[in-house]
Amino acid sequence: MPLILSEEQAMLAEAAGGFIAERGPISHLRHLRDTRDADGLSRDLWRDFGEMGLSGVIIPEVYGGSGLGAVEAGVVAEAIGRNLTPSPFLSSGLLAARALIDGGHEAQKADWMPRLAAGEAIIALAVDEGAKHRPDRIQTRAERAGNGYRISGTKALIVDGHIADALIVAARTDEGLGLFLVDPRADGVTVERTLMVDAHNAARIELSDVMVDADALLGAADGRLLDRVLLWGRGAVAAEMSGAAQGAFDQTLTYLRDRTQFGKAIGEFQALQHRAAHLYSEIEITRAIVLKALQALDAGADDADLLISVAKARAIRSGELAVQEAVQMHGGVGMTDEFDVGLYMKRMRVTSELFGDAGFHADRVARAGGY
């Protein structure tokens, strides 16, 4: 398969890019932040995502979605990254949708997926527990109890957790890691919104002897569903970061052309030209591996796991460089809240941690390489 977008994918990129730039520009994020919006995002916009077919981009058509794949999801995520648009796309349109498609019982699918696809429901995935993404060290327990399970544990960095209509909780059973569909209003669930540096949604959740039915378990409790959901999540976050890096870079290029010092545009100075050209190279190479990894996911390739880790590690490295150069090249105004580059920097920091930092993913690459 050629490593470029197909005609249909390019059309989606244009449509989604235009829609998201118009309806969810950076000023939208600023408004939500400055008004201390209780939801932290616009439910109207999420419904419009639904109407555009973006909420349900990976949801099968029989449930009202578009039935597309990882590359298309990446196209949407990239536009979101470029515009820093707060949206439940990652939590609900991607992670929850993936978990339900691959692990949901028919009734759960019929109940939730049409609403996800329509942008009417929000479901949050609760995996991490500590400062770092360590899915192999999950402490939250799901004990057999009566006809179902009793779940206890503490979860952190749950994207859209405080506005979720349902939670998907990763918990350890006697058999292995399972994902459980949990009602956030159930007894024993305490949700605390955490206001984050990037003004995007996150929450901490305490589960204390929360009782769920047996069929709350999605798929089998063997860890494979979580692995798969995380793989898709990492791919989407890498695409989002690639978009954010491009957004920061575009603003920086404009600044290099417009800002004058010593009687000329600062972009005329070779010291800055070379750094800009280096950054451009880093961003382009990341874009290539992100697309490669997403194509591998769609193809079910053997090396999809490795490629996704490479993509996430690269997206972090080039994204970090992009935002640091953005602030430095903007000089003093880059430090002001008024300019957008700081917002890119903050978002990059959060997405760097989401589903594994650069070290986490480089370690996986090393293990795959046998060293």
Q: Which residues bind another protein (CB under 8 A)?
A: 1-4, 253, 256-257, 264-265, 267-268, 270, 272-274, 276-278, 280-281, 284-289, 291-292, 306-307, 310-311, 313-314, 317, 359, 361-363, 365-367, 369-371
Nearer to another protein, 196 or 253 (CB): 253
Q: How far is the CB of 278 from another protein (least distance, A)?
A: 7
Q: How far is the CB of 251 from another protein (least distance, A)?
A: 13
Q: How far is the CB of 128 from another protein (least distance, A)?
A: 22
Decide if 334 contacts 340 (C-beta within 8 A).
no
Place of tokens 């997405």: 351
Longest dimension (CA), the chain: 78
Decide if 108 contacts 100 (C-beta within 8 A).
yes
State how far the Cα of 173 lies from the Cα of 140, in Å rounded to an integer: 9
Nearer to another protein, 144 or 264 (CB): 264
Nearer to another protein, 73 or 308 (CB): 308
Q: What count of other Cβ atoms lies within 10 Å of the Cβ of residue 64?
A: 18
Decide if 162 contacts 132 (C-beta within 8 A).
no
Q: How far is the CB of 290 from another protein (least distance, A)?
A: 9
94 CB-near residues (< 8 Å, 6+ apart): 58, 73, 77, 232, 233, 236
Nearer to another protein, 7 or 174 (CB): 7
Nearer to another protein, 227 or 250 (CB): 250
Nearer to another protein, 9 or 154 (CB): 9
- H or E element at residue 289: helix 270-299
Output Rg (C-alpha) for the chain, integer angstroms: 21
Nearer to another protein, 216 or 307 (CB): 307
Decide if 235 contacts 290 (C-beta within 8 A).
yes
Q: How far is the CB of 97 from another protein (least distance, A)?
A: 26
> For residue 302, what are the CA distances in angstroms to 37, 228, 276, 308, 339?
43, 13, 36, 11, 43
State how far the Cα of 354 lies from the Cα of 341, in Å rounded to an integer: 20
